[in-house]
Structure 1
Amino acid sequence: MLLEVKKINADLQLEDLDQWLEHELEGYGDFAHFPDYRIVECKQLGIFEKPEQDLQHFEQIHDDCLNERDRCLLRYLHIQQPLLECLNTQDEIQRPWPMRILSSYAKDIIPGYSCVRAWQSYHEPLNERFVHGVLGHLLHLLLEAQNSQSKAIIQKIDTLCQAEPQLHKVWSKLYCEAASAV
């Protein structure tokens, strides 16, 4: 559906829509503006080892182990993968801690142990969150444009969604909510 909207937008040239479509289809870079549905609260996990022992163990790292600045930086994970990849995976999404943060906490998280690896972790299906988020954001961008071409795209999306009952249910609900707000 997004590829179809991208083709239609080639004529309209709605810049915000084009940029958002590019990010959704190709992925988001480190400094991109992330829509809310791509920012998720995550857990902090790590692998710890006791000096002079070959044993390693896995632990969740609690927020109270971090100072406020680092806690704020690590609490949320910005999901960068392209939309299709997000919808096709049930795997845990991981992002390693920056080395600066890992090295500053490595010996302090668990007394007597050293953290050798730490990462942000999100392990919940993204499908429903992303379907709602993408359709809602798309509708918002099109309603914001407020022109006859954006209305044509909205009708085209409605037609495309009708082929998939779950998508149509979400799209209809979002559209009704948006129409009643106007």
Structure 2
Amino acid sequence: MPGLTFLRALGCSGLIIMMTASGASAENLKEFHARDGSYSYKYPGNFGISTMFADGTGDPMGVTASTPENGDVLIEMYSMNIRAVKTVTEQTMEAYAAQYVSDLTDRKTHFVSRKPTQMFGRLAVDMTFDEAMVFGTSKTMRTRRIIATIAGGKDYFLICLYRNDRTQFAPACETAAKTARLTKGG
């Protein structure tokens, strides 16, 4: 999967979720639990379980409601060891985000913005990047959002990917972040 080299280098454990846009209401949400039981979050009810392999076999990896017309929207949740910034506060938010900016920016990925938000009921940083995706002779721009915080002794983050012209996918990412909670072992 493109763009995950830095995650492997950092020794991250992860969960992949494929999603498309949804106007899901609070009563139309389902809950996904990480395989290891460390966290959960809610997702739109019109999504189904996605497995490791396209033929439906393998471990459940998340949820999917992708369509060829809209392309895929990926939401991946990871955790890793805490790096230089040990807690996310108003005072440390810029330095915390800078760790991700350093990891992600290259000739195809450019940092756009950061803003405060909530994940696991605590302060988190929502960072936006633009990425150029080249397929043969065509070039597509997509948004990469990282919503990250430190909780339970780990650095947790959601990676949300969607085409720049498909901003209707943003609410699914926000729903996952705002409803995320630590469970046993998290």
TM-score by length of 1: 0.27
Instruction: Give 1 or 2: higher helix fraction.
Output: 1
TM-score by length of 2: 0.27
Q: Which structure: larger Rg?
A: 1
Instruction: Give 1 or 2: higher strand fraction.
Output: 2
